[in-house]
Amino acid sequence: MRITHEIEITPTAVILDGQTLTQTETGEKMLIGLYRQHANDYPKFFKMDTLCRLGFIATELLLQAEGAERFVPTEDRAVILANRNASIKNDKDYLKTISEQDYYPSPALFVYTLPNIVTGEIAIRNKYMGETAFYILDTPDQLMPIVETTLNTPYSTLNSAIAGWCDCSDANTFYAKIQIIWKN
C-alpha cells in the first residue's frame, strides 16, 4: 500500500501533508470556515451533521492536494472510514426532537443518525460508485488491515481508498485523520 496524501483535523488545527493551515476559528465554526475558504460550491454542506462536515471537508482538502480531475464518475476508489462514537452527536440532536413534551421528530436529523452517511456524502459529492464502508473500532490502527484486505479483494474494481478515522462526539470535540491510500 502507498499513502499519497494525509490530513489531520482537530477542533483547533488542520494539518495537510505535514503543513499546518492557519485557522482563526475553532470547532464546528472552523469546519464552516474551511468550507467557505476551500469549497463553497455545495450548499448541501449546511444540511450535514458535524460528522459529515468533518469527513466532507477533510476529503475536499485531500482531493485538492491530490490535484486530479474532480467529479468524474468512477468505481475504482473506496471510502472506508471508522470511529469510536458512531453518530452519537447527531443521535443526541435527534433525541431532542422526540422529547415527550415536545414531540416533533426531525427527518433531516434522523437521516444522519447512521455513521456511514458520511461515506455516502463523500461518494455523492465525488461520484464514487466504489465501495463505501463504516466501522466502529476501539483504535484507528484496527482499520489498516481492513483497508488493505479491501483493496486486495481479488475481483474488485478498487485501486485506491480515502480511508481513516473520522470521529465526532459533539460540535467542538472531533478528530479526523484520513489518507489517500493506493493498492500499489
Q: List contacts with another protein (CB under 8 A).
A: 32, 43, 46-47, 73, 75, 79, 84, 86, 88, 91, 94-95, 98, 100, 103-108, 110-111, 113-117, 119-121, 123-124, 126-139, 142, 145-146, 148-150, 152-153, 155-157
* CA-based nearest residue to 131, from 122, 144, 142: 122
Shorter beta-carbon distance to another protein: residue 150 or 160:
150
Shorter beta-carbon distance to another protein: residue 16 or 147:
147
Query: Helical H runs in 21-173?
Result: 27-38, 50-66, 88-96, 107-110, 117-126, 143-151
What is d(CA 64, CA 74) in angstroms, rounded to the nearest whole number? 17
Phi, psi of 55 (to 5 degrees): -65, -40
What is d(CA 156, CA 140) in angstroms, rounded to the nearest whole number? 24
What is d(CA 151, CA 162) in angstroms, rounded to the nearest whole number? 11
